[in-house]
Each structure stands twice: as C-alpha cells, then as structure tokens.
Amino acid sequence: MNENGGLPQAATIAIAGLGLIGGSLARRLVADGRRVVAWNHRPHPYEQARAAGIECMDRIEDLALAKPDVLVLCTPLKAMPQALASLAPVLGPHTTLTDVGSVKGQVRDEVKAAGLADRYVGAHPMAGSEFSGYGASSPDLYDDALWAVTVDGHTDYDRFLIVADMICNGVGNRIIVLDDDTHDRAAAMISHMPHVVATALANELTAMPERNIAQALAAGCWRDMTRVALTDPDRTRAMVEEDAANVAELLRHMSRRLAGMADLLESEATAASDATAESSRESIRGFFSVAQPYREFKAWQRSGDVDYDEVSLSIDAGNWRADLLESAKRGEHIIRLAGRHGFVAQVRTAL
C-alpha cells in the first residue's frame, strides 16, 4: 500500500467490468488523476475506454498482475463467482478487493468461498440509470452519490481506509458504513422491491385491452413510476433474486397494503350505512396521512434551503466498526478522511 501521512491511498485502481457502473467509475477516477487498469468480458468498449485514459487488459488475471491498490468488481452479480475464481490464484495480498454489487451478503459469501475474505471490503454506490453498457457510462453518474460500505467482524481497518480514500477523495462521494444485513434490507426497500412494483405496473398496462389509450394518457406519474421497468429485465431479475428473502417480505407487505386500500374503497362505495362509509373514509384518510413526516422531510430537502452541518468523528481503533455503524444510524455521511482515526461527516437530517 502507498502511504501518505499515515493514510493509505488508492493510487492504482483495477476495474473488472466496464459496463454502466464500472465504466463511469473508471472515467471518474481517471479524471481525478488515478491510474486505472480495466478488463471487460468482451473487448468492444476498449477503444473508447483507452481514449478516455483507461489501460485495458486482455484477461481478468492481468488486473491482479498490475498489483493495484484496489480492485473493484463491477461485473453483473451472476458473473462474480467466475470472476472471483479467476482472480483468487493470482491476486496478491497487497490488493484490497471491493465490488459495487447491489446486494452485499451474497457477494461476501462468494468472496469467502473464493478464499479472498481477508482482503475484502464490500461497497455499493447508490448511482445508476435504466441504461446499460460502457456506451451509456458517464463520470457524472456519480455526482453527489452515497456509497454503502459494508464490513463485518473480520474487516481490516487499513483496507477500509483505502476504499474510503478511493470513494471520498477519488470519486468525491459520501460513505455510510453498514453490516450486510442492514444494507440488504434497506436496498430491498428503496430499490429492489420497487423495481418489481414498476415491472408489475408495466405488465398490468400490457395486459389491458385499452392499453393504447392508457399509454396515450400517460403523463409524468406513469413515466416516473415505470422508468425502472425499462431497465434490462435480466439485470433486474438477477438483482431481485439475489435479495429474494427481503424482497419477498416487502412484496407481501405491499400486496396487503394495496388489497387493504381496495377493500376500503369498495366498502366506502357500497356501505349500507353512513357510519360504515365514514369509518372506511377515515381509514382511507389515514392511509394518505401516514407518510406525512416523510413528505415534510422531502419538502425541506427539496426547498433548496438545505445546509448540512459537518461533524468530526474520532474513531476508537479497537471499536471502529461499531463507531461507524452508529454514525450511519445517526444520519451522518462521511465526506472526508482526517488522519488515520478521524473523519468529517455531514449530518443529514433523519426521519
């Protein structure tokens, strides 16, 4: 590891997989002056990537041989076991291994199975779009993005620091530190389950006899609620299957919420008495008012008047994981490293 004032630096970064996420990350790191070596399972993006200053390699093993400080797995989730199997025999202990997979428990299991757990730190940048491939990549994809960095009881602190250097200093992004389970439950809530909902909406339209008229009437609401249904459905399916238990549980909750509202609307319309109708009406009002604190939080966030306070975090070397997990729960996002045991975080107001 390169050292600088006690802080490990990710001077050379290897990217395995030059799709939307990996390609955008590579271009962003090159723009920060980092050396980026990359490999893709097919060489078709190499000409463009080389023109952007990325060193492209023939084989994934070549990435390990370049002795990068950090190697980032940016392949699709289903390709990770194969990528790890290819890397395991050749990846030296100097290199810290990380990834950008949208589920973290499953990737850690695969890293363990490949015998690379000692050098692994999980990561998941909250950035993306409904497009795929290097052709759709852009350094801007990471503007103001937050990364979840996932650790367990075996994660090495120096390896965490070098990944944090890549994210905060190299990409210019924020970090929260989580355990795998907390990450996967939260990601199911705000991304994986909603992708299924968006797809179900598109399926419902497709099944409708008046679909052409419905599509003609569609405006902003429909466009936004089905945008992610336009994603490559194989990529969505893989993401959902890798977080299946969490997604299934949330889908059951949503299914009950929607059926419950159908019940209320029908009982309001067909109630035999005014009292019954009013009771249904009151429950419908309740459904629409539950999320009021969330609406107010978003209104504040969107007011343009948002100024986040900064705090300094001092980390106890023996207890760093718990300290950083607590910081994340308080709604703090790490934006800078300040010495080996200090961080600067923004306080983002919590719900």
* Site membership for a copy of itself, residue 240 (CB under 8 A): yes
The residue from 198, 324, 337, 345 that contacts a copy of itself (CB under 8 A) is 198
Minimum separation from the CB atom of position 303 to a copy of itself (A): 12
CA distance 233 to 195: 10
Minimum separation from the CB atom of position 102 to a copy of itself (A): 10
* Site membership for a copy of itself, residue 78 (CB under 8 A): no
CA distance 167 to 29: 9
Q: Are 41 and 79 within 8 A, CB to CB?
A: yes
Count of beta carbons in the 10 Å neighbourhood of residue 157 = 16
* Site membership for a copy of itself, residue 300 (CB under 8 A): no
* Site membership for a copy of itself, residue 53 (CB under 8 A): no
Minimum separation from the CB atom of position 117 to a copy of itself (A): 23
| Position 346, amino acid | Q
Strands 12-16 vs 332-337: parallel, antiparallel or unpaired: unpaired
Q: Could you tell me which of 285, 290, 288 has the C-alpha nearest to residue 277? A: 285
* Site membership for a copy of itself, residue 219 (CB under 8 A): yes
The residue from 90, 186, 271, 335 that contacts a copy of itself (CB under 8 A) is 186
* Site membership for a copy of itself, residue 136 (CB under 8 A): no
Minimum separation from the CB atom of position 269 to a copy of itself (A): 5
* Site membership for a copy of itself, residue 206 (CB under 8 A): yes
The residue from 59, 211, 278, 306 that contacts a copy of itself (CB under 8 A) is 211
Count of beta carbons in the 10 Å neighbourhood of residue 252 = 10
Binders of a copy of itself in range 161-180 (CB under 8 A): 176, 178
* Site membership for a copy of itself, residue 194 (CB under 8 A): yes
The residue from 202, 313, 335, 347 that contacts a copy of itself (CB under 8 A) is 202
Strands (E), 5-121: 7-9, 12-16, 35-39, 55-56, 70-73, 96-99
Q: Residue 210 CA to chain centroid, in angstroms? A: 37
